[in-house]
Structure 1
Amino acid sequence: MATAGPVCGPISSYSRVQILHLVQTRADRTISELCEATGLHANTVREHLQRLIDGGYVIAQVEHRTTRGRPRTLYSAATGTPGASSPVARDKAKAAALRGDILRRVVPAAASDLGTAADNQLDALIEHLEESGFEPVVDDERLTVELTPCPHAAAQPQHRPVLCQVHLSLMQGVLAEAGGPLTAECVRGHQAECTVQLADSRGGVHGMA
């Protein structure tokens, strides 16, 4: 039986997962809020946030103040939607699409029946998953992404619901940033088995039992 590889990228540290979860559940978080919620030192929170910003998963904006005082920096999740888009994530999506388009020109059979926009979304999603330590297997007919064995299987059981929710939100952001008809609907998992269910806005969810 295959064993899960190491978790990499933004979800390799559970402290970073906690911070991601907080900014995903509410935008415009401050350093002090994140410190209070996680129990981490401010310098540690800043280091995690910088890694998340560099990865294209968090955006930072300076607070607009109408009163005197130094404006704070506010942190939100990069969701790929207007006002919450990361330049890093945009560049990643464009680069993934370019590589995917080159592959499909060389190997036409690599193209799905979903169309160029959806293929480009899958390009970005696959590269994100590989960067995070997964070995994704995409079924473009059932619109599923198999992530078995899941690297999170070794995580503490009480952490897995947050890990799954954070990663689902990350995948939703990657697909939105790439632009196209596909969305990530849910993650279905049991122990080391994990499947992401996608949906096509042109035709609903595919492959659900």
Structure 2
Amino acid sequence: MVSRTGNNALQMLGGSRRRVLGVLREARRPIDVQEVVQRVGLHANTVRFHLDGLVEAGLAKRGAEDRTRPGRPRTTYAAAVLDDPSDQRGYRLLANMLTGYVATEVKDPAAAARRTGRDWGRYLAGRPTPAQNLDAHGATEQVVRRLADVGFAPEAVEHDGATQVLMRHCPFLETAERHSNVVCSLHLGLMQGMLAETGAPVHTDRLEPFVEPSLCIAYLAMDGTGKHDD
């Protein structure tokens, strides 16, 4: 189980280290350095550096493979368990019940989820002080930090002159697979609310779910208003 110190360390992770942690979580089994290298595309020495940092922070565990053949067993790494499994089952059940209700009983569940996400996004973002003037880059960094707080392993990247937020390790993956119109719309609204609250000239109106089995992408664009309509 990850301690309070480990949770604080999670909030401070850089983009590359979040990606490495996301790979460990997605694997759901101990894996070695080379498998991490293949999945993240970083140099082996860089991956080892990040893995050692995750172990020191209590976010990953180091072990050795079970080996029946002669030779030295490879070092393996696995993500540390964040919460007690019984707690996870309880929250997962609650999430499935609530999203199922919204999906079947609410008129236009995607729009309702976006509105709820925006309200909570504004709350989570925290309004800047009058002297604080965030630009698009600063607002994007703040959104990435808040998404990490929620449980994602996010990373902002530039692609074809535009900014994308790669959202790995969805904390509600199983629920999103069943009710993506609700969960993904909620996450889109969450980001919209965060960006609107910063007052920065950037917004997002598009989140592409499941580009890969464990990757969704939000697309950011420059905008002078920060306002959004259903």
| TM category, shorter | 0.3 to 0.5
TM-score by length of 2: 0.43
Greater Rg by CA:
2
Instruction: State the TM-score, normalizing by the size of structure 1.
Output: 0.47
